[in-house]
Amino acid sequence: MRIMLLFLCLACSALISAQEYEREHFLKTDTTWTKEYFDLPTGFAQDMTVRGIEEAIFPPGWGKVEHAEFWSYIFVWAVNTTEPLTEHDLEMNLELYFDGLMDVKQKDSTVNKLPSTALLVPTESATGNTVYTGKIRVFDRFRTQKMMTLNLKAEQQFCPAQEKSIIVFRFSPATFDKAVWKKLNAIPLREAICDLN
C-alpha cells in the first residue's frame, strides 16, 4: 500500500512538473528573469471574466524601490475566446486582477488604498495585431504601501482556429523614454504563438 501511495505521489508530481514545463514557452528570456504561472482567473482575482493561463516574468530589479527596474515586468494572458477581447474587457480584467493582487478590499485605516483604474488606447500596428498604450493606477501593497501609476503597453494577437487570444502586457512606472522600456520591449513572444498550448 505504501509503495502504491509513493508511486501515486511521484506520478502526480511528474504531471504537475510537465504541466508547468508546457507553460514555459510564451516569452523568451534569460535565466536572470523570475517566472511565475497562474491559471486565469487567479486565486487572488476570482471575479475576472477571462479563462486561461498567465505567464509573468520579472527582471532582477523588480522588487527594489530605488532600482530602475522597480515594478517593471511583463505578463502574457492566453485566454479562451471566440473573438478578440475589447478594450473594455481588457481594462476591466486588469482592474480586477490588480485589485485582487493588491488586496484592495481588505480594509486598512493606515494606508490610502483605492481601487485600480486602467486606461488603454489603441495605436497603429504594422503586424495586424491590436496594440495599446495606456496606464493603470494601482495600490502597491508589496513595497511602498502607496498608490502608483504603471505605464503599460499591450498587444493582442487573436488566434481564431484555436479560439484564443494572446495578450502581452508590459508595465513600468518609468516613462516610455527610459532605458527599462528598451529592455521590456526586447523580450519577444515565441514564434507561432497561436500553435502553442
What phi and psi values does residue 12 have, to the nearest 5 degrees? -65, -40
Judge whether residue 19 has pLDDT over 50. Answer: no
Most confident range, picked from 20-29, 81-90, 99-108: 81-90
Q: What is the pLDDT of residue 12?
A: 41
Judge whether residue 73 has pLDDT over 50. Answer: yes
Give the DSSP per-residue string, 49-97: ---EEEEEEE-TTTT-TTSTTTT-EEEEEEEE-SSPPPHHHHHHHHHHH
Q: What is the pLDDT of residue 61?
A: 96
pLDDT 10s digits, 153-181:
999 999 999 999 999 999 999 999 999 99
Residue with cell 486582477: 97
Cell reading at 177: 523614454
Q: What is the pLDDT of residue 197?
A: 58
pLDDT 10s digits, 79-94:
999 999 999 999 999 9
How many CB atoms are closer than 10 A to CB 73? Answer: 22
Distance CA 197, CA 62 (A): 28
Residue with cell 512606472: 173
Residue 101 pLDDT level (bands cut at 50, 70, 90) = very high
Q: Which fold has domain 27-195?
A: Protein Transport Mog1p; Chain A (3.40.1000)
| DSSP category for residue 106 | S
Q: Which residues contact 76 (CB under 8 A, 6 or more apart)?
A: 26, 27, 54, 55, 56, 166, 167, 168, 169, 189
163 close to 80: Cβ distance less than 8 angstroms: yes
